[in-house]
Chain A
Amino acid sequence: SQELEQSPQSLIVQEGKNLTINCTSSKTLYGLYWYKQKYGEGLIFLMMLQKGGEEKSHEKITAKLDEKKQQSSLHITASQPSHAGIYLCGADGYETSGSRLTFGEGTQLTVNP
């Protein structure tokens, strides 16, 4: 089965700083999803990447997919307290595309004002 490893597990940054969260897969990535979660609440969709080399941005968040390295990175520029939360990467397999996602353990982000 596919496993996803996220690093770091937790991150504390000062407001305005840039940061990067990584997600590494044990298998080939076909679909890679990034979600954000507030503790005890549902997941908010951030981005979906499907092709190697693909890069997407939304406001100050950019995600990239390196298919060869079986890795994705999420980069936040000029972080704000509103970026705080748990960031989760999820992936599906070639034969199970769609709803059956495997998730990483998550990265807890704290942004100090």
Chain B
Amino acid sequence: DGGITQSPKYLFRKEGQNVTLSCEQNLNHDAMYWYRQDPGQGLRLIYYSQIVNDFQKGDIAEGYSVSREKKESFPLTVTSAQKNPTAFYLCASTPRGTSDSRDTQYFGPGTRLTVL
């Protein structure tokens, strides 16, 4: 089955720890995205990547880092510098990064991160 997988589904972190959220897709999509979702605030873009070995900051990148070493993988690290990391994190992908403005985004199932 083609799709986007995120792991783990639930993640607990102690304050001061870095954690890495996994996002993998087997859709052969070029572009990948990370969003954060908080109650009443909608989806906010953290980072995006149009192509392997390239990524750009979104609206709320502070305290997060990413890498894109493989087309199918776009892990997100939540660092200790992120002051309020408890949220629902969503990964998404788009078939072609910028070559077709009709492309839309397809989402993974999400990871709920809780800081204890």
Q: Are these two chains actual partners, yes or no?
A: no
**CB within 8 Å of B: which residues of A?**
none
Q: Which B positions have Cβ atoms within 8 angstroms of A? A: none
